[in-house]
Structure 1
Amino acid sequence: MTEHLTTAYWCVLVAALLPMVCAYLAKSGGMGRKPEQGGFDNHDPRAWLQRQTGFQARANAAQANSFEALPFFIGAVVIAHQLHAPQHWVDLLAVVFVLLRGLYIALYVADKPTARSLVWALGMLANVAIFFSVYR
């Protein structure tokens, strides 16, 4: 049997990289300026991020939430694979989850809390569906 990375596994990689996108967004307003001028301070990045407001603060919060969402997603995908869930469903639901997480980040940064919460809930449902996709 030849082992290969499924679409769902590729989605795990993408989901793991999404927090880095958020980190870039959070730090982007401070890039190119010296810390003395309010620019990003790589000597104390967490304290600098704590002082940010607006989209940068929201991007930092989206980063934290993206890290929080990862363990359940990774676990659901791995469990579904181990229990031989229908691959097409696992792949489809994983793609849906990643797309919803991308939309979630965009809505968080854009300060759209109601839509963001709805998209978060849909992402959670997609995750639960991956977990239970083993039941055919």
Structure 2
Amino acid sequence: MPPAPTGPVASVLFVCVHNAGRSQMAAGFLTHLAGGRVEVRSAGSLPAGQVNPAAVEAMREVGVDISAERPKVLDPEAVRASDYVITMGCGDACPIFPGKKYLDWQLADPAGRDVAAVRPIRDEIRARVEELIAEIDAAAAR
């Protein structure tokens, strides 16, 4: 039996337009749920000035603190360095590199919504992140 990996088994980049809501929540969940098994990045094609306060509060409600995060600009190097690139409404702004697994998650945009409206989006993101972790773990076990 091969030794267990000591570092991350995969790297994931979450991309949305503003890197202020969906991608930040997804990155927060993946970091929280996968521990150090997965390297996590997030970015936006047109980053906002700050993370959506309703997203921060919705995540705090489930024990995940994303309050220190800041929106980051999408850099082609971040795409190149990632095994999985998950887009959330960024359209054609995300560069395509061979050998990456691209997934497009159709999710409502939490921009301008209150915490009550963000909760169902948060919960859907968590379910998708849990599925992603299962896929990454299965691939690493092969």
Establish whether TM, by shorter chain, passes 0.5: no
Greater fraction of residues in strand: 2
Instruction: Give the structure with higher Rg (CA).
Output: 1
TM-score of the pair, normalised by structure 2: 0.31
Greater fraction of residues in helix: 1
TM-score of the pair, normalised by structure 1: 0.32
